[in-house]
A and B are shown apart, each in its own frame.
Chain A
Amino acid sequence: MPLLLFIALAVVPPLASMAGQAHVTGLFARGMIFALAALGLDLLVGYGALVSFGHAAFVGLGAYTVAILGAHGIHDAAVVVPVAVVAAAAFAAATGAISLRTRGVYFIMITLAFGQMAFFTASSLAPYGGDDGLTVSTRTTLFGYAPLGRDVALYYVIFAVLACAYGLMRFLVASRFGRVFRAAKENPVRVAALGFDVYRFQLAAYMVSGVVGALAGVLLANATEFVSPAYMSWRRSGELIIMVLLGGMGSLHGAIIGALAFLLLEEWLAGVTEHWKIIFGPLLVVVVLFARGGLVGIGAALARRWWRG
């Protein structure tokens, strides 16, 4: 299933250009960027039961790194990516250290609070556009070359990053580290009684997740050639959670499917009627009420039925 998904994603650009629908490539590129962010979030939500409602802040952090460094004439990935990674890790360490003291709904709300703080900070960056945001004039280069200049090249870079991130996440959740983290989701008291400091494991996962979000942000700034505080709004954070749930949490490829489905559905419904939300809203309700486990869950159920004949 995940393999099929990646093969399908790999053939999007040639198919789109053959069909004369080049904008589809752009749509899927955006879809994969949000898939990357949702993938990072799924680590927290699906494997750790840590519902972060401020995840868009990390995406924004990565995007603003591109824009701000760009405004100072620095465009090379060799600088931009490490800066974005370190900034996201530091922000995650600081906010996670405080947020992870709380549980459940309080965790949701305190991560929201940090997300909002990041949002308002971005709005106050008057030299970098303030509320209005900032145009990214030059896409990120790699050691002086400009491989991201063409949209198709950018598409495959995004594809490669997503595939690598997916692979790394798979390793991570199956590793010793991942086992402790998953166990802490089920029964934190038991895990502590075994001798694990649950807090440290959760904080590390929170940082990994934040860094993945920031990478998505770096790519997003390149794809849209624009950054704005809206990237960090709580609605964006909410959408990321919805993507994870729509696809089916705790499966990793579910997050990718969820993000793609979300954006495609939005695009399609918006083409049908300007009041697409009036269809999309109830659709979410229906998915929650009747399709536990998201799209991946539905797929698995259908597959089972098919096997039985």
Chain B
Amino acid sequence: MAEPILRLEGLCKSYGGLDVTDHVDLEVAPSGVHAVIGPNGAGKTTLINQICGLVAPDAGRIVFAGHDVTHRPVHARARLGLARSFQITSILPAFSTLENVALAVQAHAGSSFRLFGRADREEVLNGPAYAALVEVGLGERAHVPAGSLSHGEKRALEIAIALAMDPKLLLLDEPMAGTGREETERLVHLLQGLKTRLPMVLVEHDMTAVFELADHVSVLIYGRILASGPPEAIRADRQVIAAYLGEGE
């Protein structure tokens, strides 16, 4: 197997005696979709937050693209090529849709300490940003304030922002949360197109979406990895069925 793009080694985090992340070891392959599933409160978002640097783990190591990033701040990890979408939509509502993405382009285009020149007229920033918007189907919404987008469009914008960072790995924290059937299908279709280009970690509740997209599935329960393997194996795993999938799904 090729060198993993992301490796978690013995990651632990507890809040007041409650182990939210309990000795998690995880390897994410440099291609394909790695889904992390688990019931509510299994510690999925906390895990994502530790990977991207918003939460500091109590113990363990996080290795991303060959660098030990355990103690690096959020922005440094992003610079190494780690992009994420947020479970609760996290965009800049007063900025235009295009500017939201252009800011992401600017992040890896460097030289953001440029004090002159109108950033909103820079074709080097707007070109790639517009391309990313077209890719997620928001081309026609480029110039409206991002705050006025529909919920599904905001989710798509999150993905466009992540794409524009030209990342090495994409962390998707429940991208389908709160979207309708039709929008979910559109997002699944979109991600299917992306997965050939970009490895992804997908945290998701929608099991249909997970099994449509994932190449590898890890099951997180009470902060621990219960099982990890190809989707078919997970679907057949008795332990998983008992603990999770069996819950009336």
Interface residues on B, range: 35 or more
Q: Is the CB of B113 within 8 A of A204?
A: yes
Q: Is the CB of B115 within 8 A of A175?
A: yes
Tell me the bound Cα distance from A39 to B172 in angstroms: 41
Tell me the bound Cα distance from A183 to B92 in angstroms: 7
What 1/0 mask marks residues of chain A from 161 to 203 whose CB sits below 8 Å from any chain B CB?
A: 0000000000110111111101100110111111111100100
Q: Is the CB of B78 within 8 A of A195?
A: yes
Q: Which stretch, B33-41, B104-112, B133-141, B199-207, touches the partner chain A?
A: B104-112
How many chain A residues touch the partner (CB < 8 A)? 25
Q: Which residue of A lies closest to B116 (CB)?
A: A171
Q: Which residue of A lies closest to B113 (CB)?
A: A177
Q: Is the CB of B104 within 8 A of A194?
A: yes
Residues in chain B near residue A178, CB distance under 8 A: 115, 119
Q: Is the CB of A177 within 8 A of B112?
A: yes
Tell me the bound Cα distance from A192 to B52 in angstroms: 10
Q: Which stretch, B11-19, B56-64, B83-91, B213-221, touches the partner chain A?
A: B83-91
Contact of B165 among A176, A182, A195 (CB under 8 A): A195
Contact of B112 among A186, A187, A190, A196 (CB under 8 A): A196
Tell me the bound Cα distance from A182 to B83 in angstroms: 21
Q: Is the CB of B107 within 8 A of A176?
A: no
Residues in chain A near residue B106, CB distance under 8 A: 176, 179-180
Residues in chain A near residue B75, CB distance under 8 A: 192-198
Least CB distance, B244 to chain A, in whole angstroms: 29
Q: Is the CB of B108 within 8 A of A189?
A: no
The A contact surface, by secondary structure, is helix
Residues in chain B near residue A180, CB distance under 8 A: 103, 106, 112
B93 close to A (CB within 8 Å) = yes
Q: Is the CB of A196 within 8 A of B113?
A: no
Residues in chain A near residue B65, CB distance under 8 A: none
Tell me the bound Cα distance from A36 to B103 in angstroms: 30
B3 close to A (CB within 8 Å) = no
Q: Is the CB of A187 within 8 A of B115?
A: no
Given A190-B86, A192-B78, A194-B161, the answer on whether A179 and B93 have CB atoms closer than 8 Å is: no
Residues in chain B near residue A179, CB distance under 8 A: 99, 102-103, 106, 119-120
Q: Which residue of B lies closest to A174 (CB)?
A: B118
Q: Is the CB of B119 within 8 A of A174?
A: yes
Q: Which residue of B lies closest to A181 (CB)?
A: B112
Q: Is the CB of A175 within 8 A of B161?
A: no
Residues in chain B near residue A201, CB distance under 8 A: 112
**Those of B45-72 within 8 Å (CB) of chain A:** 52, 54
B114 close to A (CB within 8 Å) = yes
Q: Is the CB of B103 within 8 A of A183?
A: yes
**Those of A192-228 within 8 Å (CB) of chain B:** 192-198, 201, 204
Residues in chain A near residue B94, CB distance under 8 A: 186
Given A171-B116, A177-B115, A180-B106, the answer on whether A193 and B74 have CB atoms closer than 8 Å is: yes
Q: Which residue of A lies closest to B120 (CB)?
A: A174
Tell me the bound Cα distance from A198 to B76 in angstroms: 11
Residues in chain A near residue B92, CB distance under 8 A: 183, 186-187, 190
Given A187-B91, A189-B90, A190-B91, the answer on whether A195 and B115 have CB atoms closer than 8 Å is: no
Tell me the bound Cα distance from A182 to B114 in angstroms: 14
Q: Which residue of B lies closest to A177 (CB)?
A: B115
B178 close to A (CB within 8 Å) = no
B222 close to A (CB within 8 Å) = no
Contact of A176 among B52, B91, B117 (CB under 8 A): B117
Q: Which residue of B lies closest to A192 (CB)?
A: B74
Q: Is the CB of B114 within 8 A of A195?
A: no
| A172, A179, A180, A183 pick with most chain B CB within 10 angstroms | A179
Pull 17 A–B residue pairs with CB atoms less than 8 Å apart, ordered by A: A175-B114, A179-B99, A179-B106, A180-B103, A183-B92, A186-B95, A187-B91, A187-B92, A190-B86, A190-B92, A193-B74, A193-B90, A194-B103, A195-B75, A195-B78, A195-B107, A195-B165
Which residues of B pack against A, CB within 8 Å?
A: 52, 54, 73-76, 78-79, 83-84, 86, 90-95, 99, 102-104, 106-108, 111-120, 122, 125, 161, 165
Q: Closest 6 interchain pairs by CB?
A: A195-B78, A192-B74, A195-B107, A194-B107, A195-B79, A176-B114
